[in-house]
Amino acid sequence: MPKSTLGQVEEYVALALLLPIATLVGYAIGYLLDKAFHTHFLYIVFLVVGIVSGFVQVIRQLTRMAGNDQS
C-alpha cells in the first residue's frame, strides 16, 4: 500500500534530522561528563560515538525504506 505524500515527507525529515541529533546528543553527553569528571577528552569520545550511532541508524532506516519499496 503506497504511503501518502505527508507520510513520505515525515520519513525524509526524520532521516535528515537523525544524524545531526545523534551527533549533538553524543557531544552533549561527553561535554557534561567532562564537566563532572574535570577531564578534557570525553566529549571527543562521545562525539565519535554519536556520529557512528547516527550513521548506523541512517543506514538501518534506508535499508528499511528500500525494503518497503520492493514490497
Mean pLDDT of the chain: 91
Q: What was the pLDDT predicted at 4? A: 87
Place 1 in a pLDDT band, splitting at 50, 70 and 90. low
22: Cβ–Cβ under 8 A, 6 or more apart, which residues?
50, 51, 53, 54, 57
pLDDT average, residue stretch 21-36: 97
Place 67 in a pLDDT band, splitting at 50, 70 and 90. confident
Q: How far is it, in rounded angstroms, from Cα 3 to Cα 65?
A: 11
Q: Taking 60 as the threshold, does the pLDDT of residue 37 lie above it?
A: yes
